[in-house]
Amino acid sequence: MNEDHKFVSLKDFRIMGQQLMASMNKVIFITINLKNFKYFNQTYGFSAGDEILEHMKEHFCLQSKSCKLATFTYIDHLAGLIEEDDIDADDKLEYIKNTGMRFVDEINEKYPLAKVHLNCGVYFVEDKTEDIEDIHDKARYARKSINDTYNNFIAVYTDEIGKRAVEEAGVIPLFEYALENNTIELYLQPKFTIDTQKLVGAEALSRIVDMNGNIVPPGVYIPVLEKSGLISELDKRMIELLIQRMKEWKKKGKKFMTVSINLSRVDFNVPGFIEDIDKKIEEADLPKSAFEFELTETVFCENLKEIIEKINDMRAKGYKISMDDFGSGFNSLYVLGMVPIDIIKFDRGFVLNSLTNKKGFAIMSSLVNTFNSTDFDIICEGVETREEEQLVKETGCNVIQGYLHDKPLPIREFENKYL
């Protein structure tokens, strides 16, 4: 095929690609997503964006002997047919990976203010008569399995990935339905002091109501939304619902409490997300001290310097920042030494393991004492019995959250019971 005809329209790619596969030796289908492209355009302008798309086309297709046909499926998504020849599959995969790394390095060296990333899905085609749309889907499933992972941008399709993709496919329409029909509900779970048994705050949690009126638990949809990048849409809606409720509290003269709400790692990568939250809270004329943003240690896996700057800015504005699920990961203490936070939430699993043996109890007591002496507030979550509460108290922690006091409640029920 003439090199000038290697890059075609999407329509021609589907027709020509189906025919071309029959004459190829071994076929690899790749799909590549240029991440952070929207922010790149905002930073450098659309002409620069057009330039890197052209470079993407040259780099992965026109200059590659193994690329037989390629197209843009979306403005920043490239799909291509690669001939494997007699090269080992692992070697070919390494070649694709190195080609992608060179592209990213070249772009980020020229345009350092908007770091671009690639996600690449690969499918080694076993049946060359398989419909090219199905082949494309398999490569896309592989790519989406690493949608928000920056340290590993390439994945190969497997049957397990395909099975998971089918299961997850139902979550996205459910979430889109919930967004459009306002069936995402705000729940609050109270936080209490141990010594006075006094309500001191709450955590905001989401629930989705499906088309049949059934409550969908977060464990079903949260992992899918995190992988797909849609978690920011959920976080945004939850914060909007909380602002709405707090405005009603203020209007009715109800006493404010601090409510914590989750921010995901994805939120910090969405341009303007944090600034938009602050703007909405200011427009509602609400006290910023009433908002506590919970972060897990995974937030700090990438772009640590930029995230710390944003957190410092949030704290300077009056917001409280907490580390959620402390003790559930491996880097919690390392992160604590670097990140400016106000509150540490001990994970239930860590609490239970620490309270069931003397050594664990001594370690937890020592940690609580250290945190108290360094001006961190401490809370233990998942406390379910009076015995657990007493042990937590003996470690030096005085604030708990869990089924001992109450489960997460629909917002109206929480208000009637506690406000």
Stronger pLDDT, 156 or 163, i.e. the higher one: 156
Segment 386-406, tens digit of pLDDT: 999 999 999 999 999 999 999
**How far is residue 359's CA from residue 370's CA, in Å, rounded to a whole number?**
17
Nearest to 142 by CA among 127, 158, 163, 126: 158
Instruction: Tell whether 257 and 291 lie within a shared domain.
Output: yes
Percent of the chain scoring above 90 in pLDDT? 60
Residue 68 inside a domain? The answer is yes
Q: Domain boundary at 133, 168, 203, which?
A: 168
Task: Report in angstroms the alpha-carbon separations of 414 from 255, 281, 417.
Answer: 14, 22, 5
Mean pLDDT, range 192-197, rounded to an integer: 96
pLDDT at 192: 97
Q: Domain boundary at 137, 168, 199, which?
A: 168
Residue 191 inside a domain? The answer is yes
Segment 208-231, tens digit of pLDDT: 999 889 998 898 899 889 878 899
Segment 68-83, tens digit of pLDDT: 999 999 889 999 999 8
Instruction: Tell whether 249 and 159 lie within a shared domain.
Output: no
Instruction: Tell whether 282 and 319 lie within a shared domain.
Output: yes
Which element (helix H / strand E) includes 199? strand 199-209
Instruction: Tell whether 57 and 194 lie within a shared domain.
Output: no
Using N-to-C axis directions, what is the helix angle for 348-355 and 358-373, rounded to 10°? 120
Mean pLDDT, range 22-30, rounded to an integer: 92
Residue 389 inside a domain? The answer is yes
Look up the domain containing 54 and give its range.
3-168
Instruction: Tell whether 197 and 327 lie within a shared domain.
Output: yes
**How far is residue 402's CA from residue 190's CA, in Å, rounded to a whole number?**
8
Instruction: Tell whether 207 and 308 lie within a shared domain.
Output: yes
Mean pLDDT, range 114-132, rounded to an integer: 91
Residue 175 inside a domain? The answer is no
Mean pLDDT taken over the chain: 89
The structural domain count of the chain equals 2
Classify 209 as helix, strand or coil: strand
Q: Domain boundary at 168, 196, 211, which?
A: 168
pLDDT at 187: 97
Instruction: Tell whether 13 and 135 lie within a shared domain.
Output: yes
Instruction: Tell whether 61 and 191 lie within a shared domain.
Output: no
Confidence of residue 2 (pLDDT cuts 50, 70, 90): very low
Instruction: Tell whether 88 and 218 lie within a shared domain.
Output: no
**How far is residue 419's CA from residue 92's CA, in Å, rounded to a whole number?**
63
